[in-house]
Amino acid sequence: MFNSDREPLSRVDNFWLRLDRPYNHMTINTVWILADKLDLERLQQTIATRWVVPYKRFQQRPVDSATGAYWETDPHFEISNHFRRVGLSGAQGKEELEELISNLVSTPLDPNKPLWEFQLVEDYQGGSAVIMRTHHCYADGVALIHLVLSMTDTAPGVPVDTTHSPSHKAIHEDEEETLGDIFKQLFQPIGDASSHAVKAGRGLLAEGVDRLLHPSKTVEDARQGLGLASRYARQGLGFAAETARLLQLADDPPTRFRGKLGMAKRVAWAEPLPLREVKAIGQALGGTINDVLLAAVAGALRAYLVERGDPVDRQLEIRAAVPVNLRPLEQAKNLGNRFGLVLLTLPIGIENPLERLREVHKRMRELRDSYQAIITLGLMEIMGLGPNVAQALAMKMLGRKATAVMTNVAGPQQPLYFAGSQLAELMFWVPQSGSVGMGVSLFSYNDRVHFGLMTDQKLVSDPATIISQFSKEFEQLVLIAMTGPWDKRLDAKAR
């Protein structure tokens, strides 16, 4: 008999559900720093009204059974079970909050309940901190950011019972337009990477995966003379070549960032950078905002290895798996996972900051027409349908080709308010998968860029050291932009 309280998981959502490992929990962790103090009752009331009620999914838990994976409504759902008031030890500052989040990241969510929770630090630097944890099978990072924005206001003093779900008619017209502009920013492919391939391949992906799973359809269509082969010939050849190249990539080189993972994770984040300054540096040096940030990240990783006495030759490169949004804007309110991955090679062997920046710029341009994002989404669809053993083997193989997962999202460039308090800072960390032990997060909000890092404690126990190197690398690019000329090589002494 059909159970109306059950809904099947999509193949991609099931992929993320089954990817959980003791050394890598598939949980997206977000911290909101609020300017004012927030009590637990107000937090719970806001989440209930603007999150749980509009989205039935958060009253459901995922179940992976022998007969298939499905969403099941929790018969004992009680929203208070998903909230907790916590305190910080010691000085109750940034380091203590990082310690708390590190401990939470290393802890799995309770599988007997819907897989999400909120932790509230009521007194943090004169305001409050909210830690939100959601399993990846519910939604990808872009969908969750959309969800977070739906819970915010563009002005203080809005009643809690006002929801910002896109379908809600009570939104003021001016605020709806503002939030709409914000969502448009989010749903552009990250850094414009793979934008051409995304447009060309969305239909091919949806149809192609279906035909891989149901090959008889292709035969029937051929008999009817639909000519699918000629219709998709050009994209198909590109897909085949890109797939072969992806599978034939050599494993990432051994560094202290790679190795056998442990159970504990560490997180840290930097003081935000002024977005206008980052943009100005990029314009002065012939790069984009993304180029500047990624070059600084590569420089910080290099500096960390050099400081530890590790060999770093000029040819040393590591790859970062970068999520690319494949969700159309009109599907912004939908939960679930709809993204692919591209592999960005970071030239950490290059010492010269300007030369490194230009190399990053070159490689980002090469990724622009890549089919990697669509291919990886298709692989996730297929692996989500196949047996667990096959998925584990595939992820092990792909995991060896990257050292880090890197998210780079442009958020709203205006202040937002949650439960009447201004959202001062917003930082998030996506989970790593397979044998990848490092997560890099870049997020711009309110004209500032936030940089966060998650590492496996067994490999890198002090991510704050890399964070501090990031600021130094950015300062070097500022100095180069101010002094010039920019076409000369800089040696260590000149720097």
Q: What is the pLDDT of residues 125-179, one digit of tens each?
A: 999 999 999 999 999 888 888 888 889 998 887 776 655 544 333 333 444 444 4
Cis peptide before 156 (omega within 30 of 0): no
Residue 448 pLDDT > 70, yes or no? yes
Q: Which two tokens stand for residue 357?
A: 């920046």
Q: Looking at the 3D structure of the chain, how many domains does it have? A: 2
Nearest CA among 272, 271, 288 for reference residue 280: 288
Confidence band for 389, pLDDT divided at 50, 70 and 90: low
Q: What pLDDT does 489 receive?
A: 44
With respect to residue 415, please indicate whether it lies within any of the assigned structural domains.
no
Q: How far apart are CA 317 and CA 226, in angstroms?
A: 46
Which of 142, 167, 187 delimits the end of a domain?
A: 187
Task: Give the H or E element holding residue 436.
Answer: none
Residues 136/141/146/147 CA torsion (nearest 10 deg): 30
Residue 104 pLDDT > 90, yes or no? yes
Q: Is 31 helix (H, G, I), strand (E, B) or coil?
A: strand
Q: State which amino acid sits at residue 184.
A: K
Q: Going edge to edge, which strands form the sheet with 417-418? A: 83-86, 116-124, 127-135, 27-34, 421-429, 417-418
Nearest CA among 121, 123, 138, 141 for reference residue 7: 138
pTM equals 0.82
More confident residue, 398 or 481: 481
- Do residue 266 and residue 364 come from a single domain? yes
Domain membership of residue 356 as a residue range: 192-410+433-483
With respect to residue 103, please indicate whether it lies within any of the assigned structural domains.
yes
Q: What pLDDT does 162 receive?
A: 58
Residue 205 pLDDT > 60, yes or no? no
- Do residue 279 and residue 391 come from a single domain? yes
Residue 210 pLDDT > 60, yes or no? no
Residue 324 belongs to domain with CATH number: 3.30.559.30
Q: How far apart are CA 362 and CA 287, in angstroms?
A: 9
With respect to residue 418, please indicate whether it lies within any of the assigned structural domains.
no
**How many other CB atoms sit within 10 Å of the CB of residue 199?**
10
Confidence band for 391, pLDDT divided at 50, 70 and 90: low
